[in-house]
């Protein structure tokens, strides 16, 4: 069994339900959620679109990294994500942040996820879902969060495990 950490983000449609549905669909596709953060409301990047709800989930899986990536993309498609504007509005975004202690650099998959250490919208939920030092990076998310711009970031609601 492998432990992976996944980031979820949504800024169109019923954002809370999008996050809940993503958690259920991950479980159905072999990535069983064992811990989930609160949903955090965050300013959009780039500006000019609706605010995001972001969360982090720790999963246990028997899937290898490539198969887990396939599962995350299937979840996105199931919830209406279609190819479009890079960093544009979307019903769901599902990203693998960490896959055990592995470093992976393949087409379409970079683990740890690029930018994870300096994005408040990732670090705030991550600091709730994973309390200790982050895999590969060795520093707790809460410590990295202290070094980021947290303006506009707020805890929105709790999320149940499916």
Is the dihedral angle over the CA atoms 8, 112, 5, 107 positive or is it negative? Answer: positive
Q: Is 93 a catalytic residue?
A: yes
Q: Is 20 a catalytic residue?
A: no
Q: Is 90 a catalytic residue?
A: yes
Question: Residues 77, 81, 149, 150: which is the catalytic one?
Answer: 81
Closest by CA to 137, choosing from 32, 26, 5, is 5
Question: Residues 15, 20, 29, 95: which is the catalytic one?
Answer: 95
Question: Residues 15, 20, 29, 90: which is the catalytic one?
Answer: 90
Neighbours of 78 (CB within 10 A): 16
Angle in degrees, CA 29, 33, 35, rounded to 5: 165
Rounded to whole angstroms, the Cα distance separating 148 from 126 reads 14
Helices (H), 8-162: 15-28, 65-78, 120-129, 141-145
Residues in the chain: 162
Beta bridge partners of 106: 109
Q: Is 100 a catalytic residue?
A: no
Question: Residues 20, 29, 93, 119: which is the catalytic one?
Answer: 93
Q: List, by residue number, the catalytic residues.
A: 81, 90, 93, 95
């Amino acid at each position: 069994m492998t432990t992976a950490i996944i980031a979820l983000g949504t800024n169109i449609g019923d954002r809370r339900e999008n996050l809940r549905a993503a958690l259920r669909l991950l479980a159905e596709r072999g990535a069983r959620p064992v811990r989930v953060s609160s949903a955090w409301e965050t300013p959009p990047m780039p500006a000019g679109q609706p605010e995001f709800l972001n969360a982090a989930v720790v999963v246990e899986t028997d899937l290898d990294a490539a198969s887990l990536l396939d599962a995350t993309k299937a979840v996105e498609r199931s919830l209406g994500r279609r190819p479009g504007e890079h960093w544009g509005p979307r019903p769901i975004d599902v990203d693998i942040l960490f896959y055990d202690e592995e470093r992976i650099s393949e087409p379409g998959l970079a683990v740890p996820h690029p930018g994870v250490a300096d994005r408040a919208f990732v670090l705030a939920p991550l600091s709730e879902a994973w309390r200790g030092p982050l895999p590969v990076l060795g520093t707790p998310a809460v410590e990295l969060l202290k070094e980021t711009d947290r303006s506009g970031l707020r805890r929105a609601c709790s999320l149940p495990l499916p």
